[in-house]
Structure 1
């Protein structure tokens, strides 16, 4: 399950103190508008002061959390396509149908509904598509045997064998490990960005705080993945 994730940047302003003598007119007691805008760290009566300067920061904790959340959601959607003996429309999400030499997702051609706990119905508007849809479902590697019925295709969902359950559990575990790998990579990239930001002017205190934030997010989503896998494995083995 390929999961490409792109990083984004956030611009923050950090104050950087600059030395040097003040210009003419910078006497004590000056009340010009420019003086009112001086950085709070400047000292009255002296020509030295701090001027704000924008520093582009590459690490964004909100963006990191968003991407980790997207990774978890994709895993959950992947789990939904793993049949565990009950009728679920998501089972047919991977099915693509060959129409006029083009491969078209089943969801773009028909509406999948639940007839009962063990049967799905694929309803099509064009009866000529029924045969192609039946063939696509049969050959999708889902261990399903669809039955064409005029403008619909009935899809019985058989009770999975012990071997099939074990195979499905391994498949779920593999998907979870891939998701964990992505979460770890996101954290590692975040830590690299923070090292760059530290050199660019971020304070060591804020850098440390954000490092802890990145680690906390990593730990949270790794735990969420493990809990999702545990629930899916239980579902597969119990149905």
Structure 2
């Protein structure tokens, strides 16, 4: 296969592509599909104690019923900051405060909102594809830099390996997007 001098670290490239897929899954989990879920608040961060802090580190997040998420904020002085972060998050939810408890009623999704969430999901998928292509570019750059150490046949072999890995992960992104969009459009 390849000379002893050059060995492309495909495991590192694959790990980085898996990271892009993991990030995509997290972003998809944050898209609400008409059901309440504690994970929908994961990307929301609050300015607290001089730094950006995830909501789940500022209070207890519960899902007491299918269309309601509650946050029991531990520090009463942070209730308004948490409320503001939720309103500015783009989730389309209006928080209701009762002391230190913030209630998030999940409204029924209308057709227009479902299409909008589908477009957001497509944007998240495109970001993942770009991240995967960037990893591919890094792998190809490593192969080009090792041009002196690698025969032309071996160079082609490594380029094919990197491309097949990229194609596999791009296909995974496309499948995940298709699944998420079907879930969003489900009434």
TM-score bracket for this pair, using the shorter chain length? 0.7 to 0.9
Structure with more of its chain in helix, by fraction = 2
Report deviation, 1:103: 4.6
**1:189-204 matches, cutoff 5 A:** 189-199=138-148, 201-204=149-152
**1:176-191 matches, cutoff 5 A:** 176-191=125-140
Over 3 Å counting, the alpha-carbon distance change for 1:211 and 1:136 in structure 2 is closer
Moved more, 132-141 or 170-179: 132-141
Whether the 8 Å contact between 2:3 and 2:150 is mirrored in structure 1 is no
**How large is the Cα RMSD of the aligned pairs?**
2.3
Q: How many residues align structurally?
A: 186
- Aligned twin of 2:27: 78
TM-score normalized with structure 2 length = 0.86
TM-score normalized with structure 1 length = 0.69
- Aligned twin of 1:233: 181
2:167 pairs, out of 219, 224, 231, with 219
Matched, 1:123 2:99: no
Matched, 1:60 2:9: yes
- Rounded to whole Å, the distance in 1 between the matches of 2:49 and 2:125 is 37
- Aligned twin of 1:147: 96
- Rounded to whole Å, the distance in 2 between the matches of 1:13 and 1:206 is 8
Offset from partner CA, 1:51-86 (integer Å, 9 cap, x none):
xxxx4x483211111111111111111111111111
- Rounded to whole Å, the distance in 1 between the matches of 2:55 and 2:44 is 6
**Higher RCO, Cα 8 Å, sep 6+:** 2
Whether the 8 Å contact between 1:61 and 1:210 is mirrored in structure 2 is no
Residue ranges of structure 2 left out of the alignment (5+ in a row): none
Tell which structure's C-alpha radius of gyration is larger: 1
